[in-house]
Amino acid sequence: MSVIDRLADLRARVRGAVTTPDDPGWDDARQAWNLAVDQHPSVVVEAADADDIAATVRFARENGLQVAVQGTGHGAAARGGDLEGAVLLRTSSMRGVTVDPERRVARVQAGAQWGDVARATAPHGLVALHGSSHDVGVVGYTLGGGLGWLARKHGLASSHVTALDVIVPSGQRVEVTDSSCPQLFWAMRGGGGSFGIVVEMEFALFPLREVYAGALLWPAERAGEVLRRWRDVAERFPDDVTSIGRLVHFPPFPTVPEPLRGRRMVLVEAASLLGEEETAALLQPLRDLGPEMDTFTTSPAEVLLSLHGDPPEPVPGMGGGTMLAELPDAAIDAVLELAGPESGSPLLGIEFRHLGGALGRTPEGAGALSSLQGRFAAYMVGMVTGPEAAAAIERHIAITQDGLAPWSTGGAYLNFTEAPTDAGNAFGTTTVRRLRDIAEAIDPDRVMRPNHQVRAY
């Protein structure tokens, strides 16, 4: 069959749009949320429904192609732009969310974003274990673990998945639960996108109408004393409080509030389930350092999707992470030297997410990723404005990661890893062996092209 015939065949099989390099909408169709990733697949299919997903998988198999699934493209950097021989299967039109307030679960379609979920759960006084951004995809985030504002209380989002509706690489549709398909159910809770395409995901919700949350901000020159004090108080926080210490170079954009525009600041952000009075006592040692701004207040729980100030729209970013066993004074000094206000670093931000609490415990019946080792997850990011900036950011991420290496656990959290990496770093030897066996059994022909592979590249 000629290429033209094969494409006509694909178009006849799916309801959603099929776009090829010769079509006028090609650049829009292949664009990831992360604008720095220049994706070049063989063809793009925008799935309209589960049948489209199954038809695309069968088409890919029959034509010796792979399938790269994308909900939003927040995680596109790890897979890179070279998608030769792959169908880019986009699920961004499938954003349905249903909430069962009695069972306290939500069921979402493949392309749902966390903002969609929050809008559906808030009227019931319920929240999901989303992360810091409204437009990150529920499925990609959760397959990778999912580290959010309630993580020290409830753990990773992947530990609270209750059922998955999956098109496996053979093209069959399978309901994946603990009882119907225990191996896949284990693998897909934190093990990533190597095992099949999620059509729908069901997960637990938690009662929460209001939260005491906000940020304390100081000029970055105060970073050393602020980060030290935050580390000390954070280690005493109960599991009800999840916090982040970070250095931010706010860009000089009109969208950034005027008092912060273009400035380098050090921030402590936190979300607390304890209410204002109790949390204020925990935060007092930080307030004693006289922050220039204090935004803490009791707000509807939806505030957790904007608390971190993530970009409201797609941006060209490059980031990298490091898991830290501890954050001693020497590590803070090293970060300030390499990425602090005097360093000339092109990074826009470096943050330390406080781990521990439920994140350090393995719940019963957990999936492939059920806890995170270490006390802090570091993540650093820069904005790619061109090839020179990209090279400088890549270099500085590597330099900063090297500078933190003495305190690293040696592990990786794949949601914060934006380059190909050995899955053994993220899961440990026994888990990665089991994940590889499951991937080999379910996808022997390597139809799936996830952002992070569990098998060797």
Ligand X SMILES: Cc1cc2nc3c(=O)[nH]c(=O)nc-3n(C[C@H](O)[C@H](O)[C@H](O)COP(=O)(O)OP(=O)(O)OC[C@H]3O[C@@H](n4cnc5c(N)ncnc54)[C@H](O)[C@@H]3O)c2cc1C
- State how far the Cα of 21 lies from the Cα of 42, in Å rounded to an integer: 8
What is the DSSP code (8-state) at residue 63?
T
| Shortest distance (Å) from residue 413 CB to ligand X | 7
Query: Per-residue x/- mask for ligand X, residues 300 to 339, rule CB under 6 A?
Result: ----------x-----------------------------
In whole angstroms, how large is the CA radius of gyration of the chain? 22
- 349: burial class by Cβ within 10 Å (0-12, 13-18, 19+)? buried
Q: Helices 50-62 and 3-13, interaxial angle, to 10°?
A: 160
Q: How far is residue 442 from each of residues 123, 158, 171, 436, measured CA to CA in Å?
A: 40, 20, 11, 10
HSE toward the beta carbon, residue 451, CA cutoff 13 A? 25
Q: How far is residue 227 from each of residues 24, 181, 307, 375, 406, measured CA to CA in Å?
A: 50, 45, 19, 14, 18
| Shortest distance (Å) from residue 131 CB to ligand X | 2
Window 87 to 106, contacts with ligand X (CB under 6 A):
91
Interface stretch with ligand X, choices 38-46, 129-137, 237-245, 265-273 (CB under 6 A): 129-137
- Which of 29, 118, 198, 358 binds ligand X (CB under 6 A)? It is 198
**Residue 8 token pair:** 């006509």
- Which of 16, 41, 115, 137 binds ligand X (CB under 6 A)? It is 137
Is 72 near ligand X (CB under 6 A)?
yes
- Which of 16, 73, 356, 374 binds ligand X (CB under 6 A)? It is 73
Q: By C-beta, is 79 or 222 nearer to ligand X?
A: 79
Size of site (CB under 6 A) for ligand X: 32
Q: How far is residue 331 from each of residues 95, 172, 224, 406, 408, measured CA to CA in Å?
A: 42, 50, 10, 8, 10
What is the DSSP code (8-state) at residue 193?
S
- Which of 143, 248, 260, 393 binds ligand X (CB under 6 A)? It is 143
Window 19 to 58, contacts with ligand X (CB under 6 A):
none
Is 110 near ligand X (CB under 6 A)?
yes
Is 147 near ligand X (CB under 6 A)?
yes
- State how far the Cα of 421 lies from the Cα of 453, in Å rounded to an integer: 8
- Which of 45, 378, 450, 454 binds ligand X (CB under 6 A)? It is 450
- Which of 56, 57, 79, 267 binds ligand X (CB under 6 A)? It is 79
Window 395 to 424, contacts with ligand X (CB under 6 A):
415
Find out whether 143 and 164 touch, Cβ atoms under 8 Å: no
Is 245 near ligand X (CB under 6 A)?
no
- Which of 76, 127, 176, 305 binds ligand X (CB under 6 A)? It is 76
**Residue 378 token pair:** 């570091």
| Shortest distance (Å) from residue 114 CB to ligand X | 9
Binding site for ligand X (CB under 6 A): 69-76, 79, 91, 110, 131-133, 136-137, 139-141, 143-148, 193, 197-198, 310, 415, 450-451
